[in-house]
Amino acid sequence: MRLFTRLLYVLPAVGLLLLPEFFGLRASAQDSAAGQIIRLRSIEFNPDRVLVQVGDTLTFINQDPFKHDVYIVRTADPNVVIYPANTLMPGDTIVIPFREQGLFTVYCTIHGGMKGKISTTGFFELTEEEKRKVASVKVLPPIVKTGETLFWDKAQCYQCHRIGERGEGLRGPDLTDIGFRARIQAQKLGLDAATEYLVQSLLEPEAYIVEGYTNAMATVFQPPIDLSTDELTAVIAYLQSQGGEVDTWAINLNQEKLATLPAMNPFRRGDSERGKAVFQEVGCNSCHTVGARKAVSIGPDLTQIGAYQNWTWLAESLLDPNAEIGKEWQYATVYLAPEEDDEWALEELVEGFLRKNTDAEVEILVAPERLERLPRERVTRVEVSELSKMPVNYVEILSFQQMADLITYLQTLKGHALDN
Ligand code: HEC
Ligand code: HEC
């Protein structure tokens, strides 16, 4: 795997070396332009230890034939970002003025292990006080931070996933400790390594469906989410950091898979304005809210659906609602034993969307915003319906044009991201 990745780096190098001015000229023109120079060469910062004065500038030049980035944090607290990751294409230069006192670490977030130290204090050591502080801060490579930002925003993962107490996605599994769990899953599925399981989860989610869930994972490398290779790598590094070892070398993305094109959209001649009208006319809005997350509704809120689901999935949810019923929208009947102190009492039933079914309790959403918690001791049986509560006859009621208009409208629903 490692050899393969290195080869990818070497190949473009051959082409670039043919440009005579590529290395020499651009670099030497910069040499005299600004303070000290740090060259990014052979996946290293050169020099990797630099003393500066507050007010000095530092010039970074990428002399490798592939891209790097420069990301500077305070060594004592990597959460304090002095300079956010800035991409340098081959031959690019950036000049960074240094205004703060202290010891800093510079990373390339693309390449694990590529880092250096910058100091304004005359030493490359932390003060005793800082050392004590560091001990209490968990240090992670910066690519993890990039992945984290993507996960909770642009990559839309939070729409369906939680991580412990953070987030409220219910459609997909809680990803707590996924970095650790992936190793176990990989063993079970006969995959080589934990990371292979993570990669597979993103590129071929249908290859293995986590028990208890449905095949609802978005195709994250195609529109509308459309993550690039770098973004996928960062997101996977973030997943690795959840209880596993962060190792970007192990992330081997199948380029062929990434290059598969989205299916041709037969509904592309829809009109979203007309679709919006149809949405009201046929009563979709009696069950679905748009633009009012968490508002009263007895079906999923659709405010952001167009930001993470593609037209294939949207069309299927209209044409065949039973095909895939989101985990939190499965309808269930819960049977309860009669209350013990009342000898006349009969068995009771509670119906609604099944939100939790654990050894401790069963939770049912019986009406909008009304979650009923049922103690396990009283529950005798939980029957989960395989049928969706969404009407299945739209295929007969709607014309092809109305269907196209509706899907086009749903694709435009990309409301604002949650505040995290
Ligand atoms: C539209 C909902 C949805 C979105 C968006 C989504 N996922 Fe998922 N994800 C699921 C569902 C449902 C499953 C479980 C079914 C399966 O295994 O494919 C799942 C499974 C997973 C798994 C395997 C979990 C395990 O416990 O083994 C990982 C890892 C994962 N998703 C990561 C991501 C990441 C990272 C993103 C964002 C780039 C993302 N998902 C976006 C719905 C989603
Ligand atoms: C009687 C209530 C009801 C009506 C009316 C209704 N739906 Fe639904 N809809 C649901 C429920 C419940 C679900 C979740 C279960 C499922 O996925 O099948 C759902 C799921 C969906 C989904 C998938 C959303 C997700 O996050 O899983 C879409 C898209 C959708 N409906 C669109 C529509 C459109 C468009 C109309 C009008 C043509 C409509 N619905 C009419 C109840 C309804």
Which ligand minimizes its atom distance to the CA of 303? Answer: 2
Tokens representing 411?
């694709």
Question: What is the pLDDT confidence band of residue 285, given thresholds at 50, 70 and 90?
Answer: very high
Which ligand minimizes its atom distance to the CA of 411? Answer: 2
State in Å: Cα 390 to ligand 2 middle. 5
- Most confident among 15-29, 111-125, 207-221, 293-307 (mean pLDDT): 207-221
Q: Which residues contact 316 (CB under 8 A, 6 or more apart)?
A: 323, 324
* Closest to 44 in 3D by CA, of 65, 26, 64, 73: 64
Give the residue, 113 or 62, on which the prediction is more confident. 62
Place of tokens 């984290």: 148
Mutate to test the pocket of ligand 1, among 174, 198, 217, 232 (most ligand atoms within 8 A of CB): 217
The answer to whether residue 4 scores a pLDDT higher than 70 is no
* Closest to 227 in 3D by CA, of 340, 343, 147, 283: 147
Question: What is the pLDDT confidence band of residue 135, given thresholds at 50, 70 and 90?
Answer: low
Peptide bond into 262 cis (omega under 30): no
Rounded to whole angstroms, the Cα distance separating 260 from 257 reads 6
330 CA closest ligand 2 atom index: 15
The answer to whether residue 112 scores a pLDDT higher than 50 is no
Rounded to whole angstroms, the Cα distance separating 196 from 189 reads 10
Q: In the prediction, which pLDDT does 136 show?
A: 59
- Phi and psi at 408, nearest 5°, equal -60, -40
pLDDT digits (tens, 9 = 90+) for 312-365: 999 999 999 999 898 889 999 999 988 777 777 788 899 999 998 887 889 999
Rounded to whole angstroms, the Cα distance separating 262 from 163 reads 29
* Protein residue with least CA distance to atom 39, ligand 1: 157
Rounded to whole angstroms, the Cα distance separating 299 from 385 reads 16
The answer to whether residue 409 scores a pLDDT higher than 60 is yes
Arithmetic mean of pLDDT over the chain: 84
Mutate to test the pocket of ligand 2, among 317, 401, 403 (most ligand atoms within 8 A of CB): 317
Per-residue b or e along 83-109, where b marks 16 or more CB atoms closer than 10 Å to that residue's CB: bebeebebbbbbebebeeebbbbbbbb
Asked if 71 and 108 count as a contact pair (C-beta separation under 8 A), the reply is yes
Rounded to whole angstroms, the Cα distance separating 356 from 374 reads 10
Give the residue, 79 or 47, on which the prediction is more confident. 47
Segment 259-263 shows an average pLDDT of 90
Q: What's the distance, Cα to Cα, between the start and end of the chain in Å? A: 36
State in Å: Cα 318 to ligand 2 middle. 7
